[in-house]
Amino acid sequence: MYDALTGRYTFACPQRQEARVPLSAFRRLERLPGAAHPAVYGVRFDCGCGGEHTGLVAHDDLDWAPLGAAAGRFLNLMTSRFDDAGAELTGAAASRVSAGEWPWSFFCFPEGRPRPVFPSSFVAVAPAERCLGLAVRCPVCDALSVNLVTPEHVDLPFWNDASVGVVSHVFGDDVLAAVEEFRAELHSSRFDERRLNLH
């Protein structure tokens, strides 16, 4: 599912059979009811074929695999042997966390402070010209905050942008439902009828 050496998730694509996308290509993440160990997340992602598809990601693949927990073996071209990348990557991540660094962070607007998070706290990712709008549910206060970050801030563990834009607004729990309703109406024939009546 996740390749720690390329930083890509693998999903099914109806056009190309397989899509390999970074975390920044995810558009919506939602924990599904039911399984708890591991939890399962439904994701919508932008595919290289130009479409938007859905997929499933286990909690381990979402939060731990990018830190090297499931990296597996690779062919070391210097020694012509297969080496275990997982132990080295996990060890490097553990030493950085021990030193006080966290793989991902965001700024919680209601609390007025940065917070460490895992990708399972991400709710939505919206691409812009040079940045991403990242909606994150705070694991401490449960509020939804939106930060403007670079794709690297999302895709690369332990990458922290020098500055992060913060949308100074407290979002309600129903904000994503309102966005989905608007998106559905935008593509419906009813919206076209209203637009034609405006002229």
56-89 per-position pLDDT tens digit? 999 989 988 888 766 566 677 888 887 776 677 6
d(CA 93, CA 71): 13
Which has more confidence, 33 or 1? 33
**Averaged pLDDT of the chain:** 82
Find the mean pLDDT for residues 16-22: 93
pTM above 0.75, yes or no: yes
Range(s) of the domain holding residue 81? 2-168
Q: What is the pLDDT of residue 188?
A: 52
- The verdict on residue 177 lying in a domain is no
- The verdict on residue 106 lying in a domain is yes
Q: How many domains does the chain have?
A: 1
Helix axes 189-197, 175-186, angle to 10 degrees: 70
- The verdict on residue 112 lying in a domain is yes
Q: What is the pLDDT of residue 6?
A: 84
- The verdict on residue 59 lying in a domain is yes
Burial tier of 110 (Cβ tally within 10 Å: 0-12, 13-18, 19+): middle
- The verdict on residue 92 lying in a domain is yes
Q: What is the pLDDT of residue 123?
A: 92
- The verdict on residue 15 lying in a domain is yes
Coil/strand/helix, residue 148: strand
Q: What is the pLDDT of residue 198?
A: 40
Each residue's pLDDT tens digit, 144-196:
888 999 999 999 898 888 888 998 877 776 666 655 665 555 455 544 444 44
**Is residue 44's pLDDT more than 60?**
yes
Q: Percent of the chain beyond pLDDT 90?
A: 42
- The verdict on residue 99 lying in a domain is yes
- The verdict on residue 73 lying in a domain is yes
CA distances from 157 to 29, 51, 134, 139, 189 (A): 18, 27, 15, 18, 43
